[in-house]
Amino acid sequence: MKTHRIPLSHHLLVGSGLLFAGFIACQLSYAAYGQRIEKDGTLTEKFFLIPISAVMLLGSTVSLAGAGAARLTQGK
């Protein structure tokens, strides 16, 4: 039985897509929840979603660049 080997660039493209989907999900969640000011004057928001989405966008960009580099080195 012959096994089919999936190139590294395809794995990186899938990873990049998943990270970008996570970025979009974080941004949509942050926008949907919004901000509100409580009666005591404190601001309530899901601030942790902002840096998480930034890290996901950065990871997606790096993974996409890695996929491009892998494709160039593989000659495809």
pLDDT in tens, 12-65: 899 999 999 999 999 999 999 988 989 998 988 999 999 999 999 999 999 999
- Spatial contact of 61 and 15, defined as CB atoms under 8 Å apart: no
Cα 12 from Cα 17, distance rounded (Å): 9
Entry pTM: 0.82
Residue 71, classified by CB atoms within 10 Å of its CB into exposed (0-12), middle (13-18) or buried (19+), is middle
Domain locations in the chain?
27-33+43-76
One-letter amino acid at 29 equals: S
Q: How many residues does the chain have?
A: 76
